[in-house]
Structure 1
């Protein structure tokens, strides 16, 4: 019996795939080496790109080394044995410099079950070039493409174009589609990455956006990333069902875009069942939009909750739908958006006129969005730096076609701090807009009808009404920003 068991074990071992490890060292490596140990490491990305990788393989770059060119691997892992890219030895992350030679530095094309970790990536050319990216994840006519994980990457200095219609540029970008075979990503994770000085955007995607060929990516998770000094959009999932965007920070977006170009911090487009939670967005200064958060058109069942938005030029949040295209394949509407338990401090700061003049409402609902619920949010409005700056708490307006329908504002706190000028609510020709049980403190004009309104001063510093799910680390940031606001109000 023991002999049979031993023979079976040996047979299983013989049939199991053998994992291989490939080592990279740009300083002492040599492409004529075997690459299978630190002392026999390869030197160039060119050599690495010649290899066909298999399930369980590992690619390890030596810490502190730098490489010029593109990493364009071939071959896939498996569910049980993904291909893993990382670093070895202590030290700084290995750096891959694309130098603008191609539209990417790292390209994961048509492959699956890959995990790319602990690399620094740049792609700066001599001059800006539309469509330039740090990392591209691409699949075409492949069906379901599984398990692409990017973790702990630093992506910076990608000089694409700040003009969206030219092709823009991104730190990390995914694109899926197909003419013959519907294609999507299943289990796409972008986690704990630091993206900065990338033009135009941070993390965005593209896919099967039209509802006539709806084939959304699934299990897309964008978590724990820091995006800063990116002038355009921070995080934009596109053509996904059930995307989760959480625990990210998007901050300090410089005012570099044209007046024609809009951008916002975190928002879905052509997505269903998106959850956006536990994020912080601040310092978004695009010349149009520039909110912290947005539920955009061709989206259903978007949930925006437990986020902190502050000091954004365009406001806290937008819900929009382009009315002229409503009913076309790329726009079935914007429906069932829920915005709850968020905190907004000092949003709506745009310091100059834009498309319609002075315009930066804290909440903007544009076009025929339906069934929107804005509940249990705390909106703290500081005194504006200039009397010219828009003092709208809410603007509901028309974006072609019908107006918004069935919008409800419940149990929100609208708190204006130390400003003698009046703040307004503009509901326009919206249909069945209701206000129920909101708290109002400050000087308002055209305040909406609210039969159960609460009017009282609150001591937010000593007893801020956080929801129990609002994370502790964001609570500390909220109270710090509120204290700054309170101290500034005392000076004024």
Structure 2
């Protein structure tokens, strides 16, 4: 499609030659690319398009017999766009505000770092690519690199088996797939990127809106562990996914990924996790929000680190009004590698079925060598659909740490609930603080209630640090505005910390300097070493309890 194009001849009168492209650019109705050149004489001008990058236009105002090289002579259909091949630096643009029916196919396109291939819209607004049936994806990408897809609406039929954007690679060494400013609805999965044999690297999904798809907003996965790597997701919103899974964002077999400043809400399926990853390594979710997840199962969470994951972090996130957990770690059999080295830290959980949870499936596949620390958890039992203890530990846990968490409940609800039942389980809990509004904190172990930290310590051995008792009980004195949840939303996600200022501690809080020294446990609070609100931890050498380090 690119290279030296068929010459186009124009009749010119009363215009002296020699003015070159300046004159041509003034000829009525002629839209020149920068690489156009003159090759003729007085009276007739022949225009040849050189071998530089080309832009191809698609609009419903013309027909497919056009050359597509000018807004005045665009192609008409997706079918025509599928017939050609885009080369480095080429752009394929659909007219904004217009609807095009069909599925766009992009196979074996390879741009360069300096000249990626770009697919998007031109003119006013975003073009709409509408799938003709439930078996046709909006855009199908295969074995392509240095490809950028942006500023489009992908619309499915609502009962689709196909995905909105599906990108698959089985050729090694492919990189640079950037997806931005898409709105995708009516498909099985909104954006689905899958890779095998270490294929895809440098995958970015930013500023996208995924809604009303059957199962998942964004799925990023490798066929084998680590096949998809160097992934970045930012400023995306996923909502109204109520199919079998009901995921907002789900990462599987991914290595070295970051998800930040994104929101998942109003999702729900048989086992729904708005923001989750499994069998992953080196994944970080930060500064995100998950809320109003509904599910029939308690095995669901606003944020989840699932089985086989290693060296992963959920930090500075906000979960509220979810039927299941706000934050959860889970291990399962057959994950390939043991669950280890994972952290949930400096997050805020408000009115979730449980605040922070841990579940290990078996002694062979335990939840191991991981920790939850520095989190603030609040729950009003009257607001919970499926209430459980706000720190909830179940089955097989090994060397699992629970440190410096602040747990406040309103109503008759355990602050901690543990169902471990095996001497092989090792949970290390210290430096946490508890409060029941208008009552006494209740601790539950194996269905038995304990009315004090001392009694709890006597049964479990928890809340002891280097032989000294820990576990503060008392009103933590939040700033005004706390004890309720509020929606931040994608429009204000960059102001997440400011919006939740009510969960900061007052200067006279009894939990200031009441935490244990995480550094003595071999836990590094960074980088960046900050609390939920961006303050350095610790202050003055001592740790506060919860997500706010007072300064």
Distance 1:264 1:481, change over 3 A: farther
Name the counterpart of 1:334.
339
Name the counterpart of 1:136.
166
2:117 to 78, 83, 86: 83
2:237 to 219, 222, 226: 226
1:383 to 358, 363, 381: 381
- 1:279 Cα offset (Å): 0.5
Paired residues of 1:394 and 1:427 also in contact (CA < 8 A) = no
1:392 to 377, 380, 389: 389
Name the counterpart of 2:213.
198
Name the counterpart of 2:496.
474
Paired residues of 2:325 and 2:357 also in contact (CA < 8 A) = yes
Q: Size of the alignment, in residue pairs?
A: 411
Distance 1:480 1:84, change over 3 A: farther
1:279 aligns with 2:288: yes
Partner of 2:479: helix, strand, or coil?
coil
Aligned-partner Cα distance in 1 for 2:259–2:386: 31
Structure 2 residues without counterparts, runs of 5 or longer: 1-34, 36-49, 445-452, 458-462, 464-468, 483-492, 505-551
Name the counterpart of 1:270.
279
Partner of 1:268: helix, strand, or coil?
strand
Name the counterpart of 2:259.
245
Partner of 1:474: helix, strand, or coil?
helix
Q: How well do the aligned residues superpose, as a CA RMSD in angstroms? A: 2.3
Name the counterpart of 2:518.
none
1:425 to 405, 417, 424: 417
- 1:381 Cα offset (Å): 1.0
Q: Which structure has the bigger radius of gyration?
A: 2
Paired residues of 2:387 and 2:413 also in contact (CA < 8 A) = no
- 1:416 Cα offset (Å): 1.0
- TM-score, normalised to structure 2's length? 0.71
- 1:183 Cα offset (Å): 3.8
Paired residues of 2:389 and 2:413 also in contact (CA < 8 A) = no
Paired residues of 2:195 and 2:227 also in contact (CA < 8 A) = no
Name the counterpart of 1:370.
368
Aligned-partner Cα distance in 2 for 1:35–1:472: 40
Distance 1:236 1:68, change over 3 A: same
Name the counterpart of 2:105.
72
2:177 to 140, 145, 148: 148
Distance 1:295 1:389, change over 3 A: closer
Distance 1:374 1:17, change over 3 A: farther
Partner of 1:40: helix, strand, or coil?
coil
- 1:395 Cα offset (Å): 2.9
Aligned-partner Cα distance in 2 for 1:218–1:21: 31
Name the counterpart of 2:145.
112
Paired residues of 1:191 and 1:224 also in contact (CA < 8 A) = yes
Distance 1:154 1:389, change over 3 A: closer
